Structure 1
Amino acid sequence: MIVDVWMQHPTERFSQHSMFASLRRWTNADESAAVPGIDATIAAMDAGSVDVGLLSAWSQPNNAPLISNDEVAEWIAAHPDRFAGLACVDLDKPMQAVRELRRTVTELGFKGLRVVPWLWQAPPTDRRYYPLYAACVDLGVPFFTQVGHTGPLRPSETGRPIPYIDQVALDFPELSIVCGHIGYPWTEEMIAVARKHENVYIDTSAYTTRRLPSEIVDFMRTGTGNSKVLFGTNYPMIQPAHALDGLDQLDLSPEQQAAYLGGNACRLLDLQAN
């Protein structure tokens, strides 16, 4: 079973936002192209043999969400066997954010919360996150975030694994934290934090298999790393088939490959493995 832990089905608000100009340039995206329907995302998953995708909602400061929780819920309702949801919240409204997180988990069945720190220009140790961390622990769902530099046109400081993820894991040892985008150029720091903390994980979104740093691949082959790394694409920036090309060249054992592609995600998110 293959689970993609970082996908977003784009809305026009999301795909046309000015901060993603660098990503559109890198991927040669046609800015005038119409936003595809959800069937296009299903087709991309099928082309890469991805069974389940975690669709992220995206909030933004001072404006309507780029992808709302209710939009994600509608796509999941249309394809319940193919998608699960990750909630977004308004970090500037802490109590409203906690209530919305609870609603998405208890009423919509979402599997976790994702906050992208650079979007809010607030590192994960900012006090506005802490009620959300407590709510995630109480609800039994992971916190998903981004580590490393930012491809979008925003500052990268908030993506440092040390001190930020390290400190959050010390303050909330029961909180499962999934760190997307491998942490480059601080990848070794990210691996050190994942080794140190029982409930810290890494996902490989935004990197194709052929571009994975050797440090991550070596970590995946270890006893600790075998249970700590999850597959992700950052679709639609990277198509699943392209992300997985060259997988056999990683020299993972069948058990390591199965854990990476879906086993770790199924265990963490209580997904039913096929």
Structure 2
Amino acid sequence: MMIIDAWAQHPTLRHIQDPIFESLWRWTRSAPPSQPVPVAATLAAMDAAAVDVSLISAWVAPRNVMISNDEVAEFVAASNGRLVGVGSVDISRPMQALREVRRCINELGFKAIRVLPWLWEVPPTDRRFYPVYTACADLGVPFCTQIGHTGPLMPSEVGRPIYLDQVALDFPELRIVGGHIGYPWTEEAIAVATKHENVFIDTSAYSVTRYPPALVDFLKAHGRHKVLFGTNYPMMTPAKALQGLDTLALDDEVKAAFLGGNAQRVFGLTPAA
């Protein structure tokens, strides 16, 4: 049974030591690394939970590139096929962003683009996102984003899942993956994913034991093709994210779709990825 992590990062020190994540490190009762993290360490964390593939993302914030697209490409190249790239762009420069989306997909071989509303402090209906949506829809790759409250001490309102309703109406061809389950608006996320064929939810940043009951019910029923497993590594290891999976009592078909099949389909990954 293939396991694909739909949301991970292989961090740079610029990313993992950024002060914006101080609240997350307090929660985990640990400290960020002081030395660069080797790709081998990320692969070892995946091996510890039998994760086959992780989608690792660049991080582009206003006036701050925490993980560049080219760095992600280097990490992917060093992973022997275990890591898959997800690009990010500066939405304040629309034409540059559009060209960079195309470069990420056509030249770097990435499988998706991710932009986080809370980093930019605007909702995903903001006009600056629309060139990115257009490029992703045209290239046939998913747009990934964060839904729900923010761990970093930034406003959460821009993460309301309902904003994706308008995006999906404007771009019905665009596959949209909302990460971090949308809590405390998980039922809102489920409603949007149910309404729109191309809207999906990933479980990153939450361990199995913290999934809201509504999400578990959705996963077992009409949402069995809508929910993707994710970790938010390195803030949560795959082993921690999967701990207690058997308590969900998923049947084999649902488990296979949740752990890997849905991500494989949504991101267009080949079985050998």
**Structure 2: stretches of 5+ with no match in the other structure:** none
Matches within 5 A, 1:34-183: 34-63=35-64, 65-162=65-162, 164-183=163-182
Answer yes or no: is the 8 Å Cα contact 2:160–2:185 preserved in 1: yes
Q: Deviations over 1:202-225 (max 9, x none)?
A: 000000011111111100011x30
Assess, with a 3 A threshold, how the Cα gap between structure 1 residues 250 and 100 changes in structure 2: closer, same or farther: same
Query: What's the CA shift for 1:238?
Result: 0.5
How many residues in Structure 1 have an aligned counterpart in Structure 2?
271
What is the CA distance between 1:271 and its match in structure 2? 1.2
Question: How far has the Cα of 1:85 moved from its partner?
Answer: 0.7
Equivalent-residue separation in structure 2 for 1:92 and 1:137 (angstroms): 19
Distance 1:32 1:197, change over 3 A: closer
Amino acid at match of 2:25: R
The one-letter code of the counterpart of 2:7 is: W
User: How large is the RMSD of aligned CA atoms in angstroms?
Assistant: 1.0
Q: What letter is aligned with 1:134?
A: T
Please tell me whether the aligned partners of residues 148 and 184 of structure 2 are also in contact (alpha carbons under 8 angstroms).
yes
Which residue of structure 2 aligns with residue 225 of structure 1? Answer: 223
Once the two structures are TM-superposed, the CA of residue 111 in structure 1 deviates from its matched residue by 0.3
Shift of 1:31: 4.0
Q: Quote the Cα distance in structure 1 between the aligned partners of 2:60 and 2:51.
A: 26
1:239: which partner in 2?
Answer: 237
Once residues 206 and 85 of structure 2 are traced to their aligned partners in structure 1, the CA distance between those partners, rounded to angstroms, is: 21
Other-structure match for 1:258: 256
- Does 2:197 align with 1:198? yes
Find the aligned partners of 1:254 and 1:206 in 2 and give their Cα distance. Answer: 24
In 2 relative to 1, CA 7–32 (structure 1 residues): closer, same or farther, beyond 3 Å?
Answer: closer
Runs of 4+ in 1 over 6 A off after TM superposition: none
Give the drift of 1:60.
Answer: 1.1
* Partner Cα separation in structure 2 for residue 262 and residue 4 of structure 1: 8
Per the alignment, residue 269 of structure 2 pairs with: 271
Whole-angstrom CA distance in 2 between matches of 1:247 and 1:239? 14
Aligned AA (1:123): P
Q: Please give the TM-score of this superposition, normalised by the length of structure 1.
A: 0.97
Normalising by structure 2, report the TM-score: 0.97
What amino acid is aligned across from residue 245 of structure 2 in structure 1? L
Displacement of 1:32 in angstroms is 6.0
